[in-house]
Structure 1
Amino acid sequence: MSRKVNRVRFQLDTKNIKRLPHSDIRTILRAADPIIMTGGRNLLAKILKGSREKKVLELNLDCCPVYGAFRDEPLETVKAKIDWMIKHHYLETEYDYRLPLLVFSETGWEIEKDTYSDELLQQLKEITNPENHDFKEHLQHRDRGMILLLLNKIEQSGNPSFIPSLREWKKVDYKKVRKEIDRVIHSLSKGLS
């Protein structure tokens, strides 16, 4: 006989926020990324506020690029923005046993995928010696849709300086990604002739 699970209930309160600027939506989604299916609304609010709480620091959430982005706003306003994001289907909650955890909605993931691929593109631009850099392993286990978007952005840049990094990346990734990397290298090489 199984025991009834008492799920933690929550109520969304947007504090009458009618809309959020796109920059806030992107910021909240970026802050949610490291805690998808592991954290909830309160933890997300702590990341956005720049909390120095022990759990935030233990999980290295202070390394999130948007950590503390809303530090000057009252906590209740930050929570209301998160609730607005859930109410407007950018984020969703799923229960893991009894706790509600955050997940991306399809719309939210499309925005986060674009944001994160821009971030990765910038990081790749800054690599001076791809042979001695650990970016390859970092990219290998990422969402394939986001990786393909990143490769498309690299190709659209038309910048052949990405070719050494692409060649290094190709050494460690999966077959389908290697094929796409080859295609992008070929496309960027045309600009060298």
Structure 2
Amino acid sequence: MAKSVRRKLRQIERGRIRSAEERVQHILDERTEILALRRKDEALPAQALPRALVCGSGRERFGIPVEAVAEVLPPQKYMPVPDGPPALVGLFGRGGRLVSVIDLALALGIEPSSAEDGSYHFVLLRREQPQVALRVERAHAVADVHPLTDEEATGFRTEAVTGYARVQDAGDLGDTLSLLDTERLLRPFLSSSPVPGV
């Protein structure tokens, strides 16, 4: 403490501060600046990371924004849609409404794994009309993700992929996720659906 006081006095003498009032004001100004800097550092809120539902389809890992997900459902029995696009695998009823089932791997043009129908998860999307569920091979977990810059990002590319991210605590969720825009993903199916209201 005594050393810091001596140092301050030397600084005051060097700055040619002559009156006691000027010295006091100089010290108070310095302390105010130090406290203000410390409070700014403490007050900076940690930036909220985007959250995504991490899903697997084929060999890829995808992140669906949690705002777009209504619910993850266990495997459902569904009726196939005759003459529909290959990715529109069927329909099932939920709460008196039809839900279209779109296979995520087929919709993105990637090769699905050889999972049995019974082992799929259905990601019911948060949308009113038409209701859509994505059939994924596995819905792993909801996780915080760190978006990657273009230089860092490598992965699956399509119009529905808006970017790439890493899971904060990766564990067994894999390294890089392709972030999906569900509305872009659904656009080709909604305009060409042969079933009314689907």
Q: Normalised by the size of structure 2, how large is the TM-score?
A: 0.23
In terms of Rg, which structure is larger?
A: 2
Q: Normalised by the size of structure 1, how large is the TM-score?
A: 0.23
The structure carrying a bigger helix percent of its residues is: 1
The structure carrying a bigger strand percent of its residues is: 2
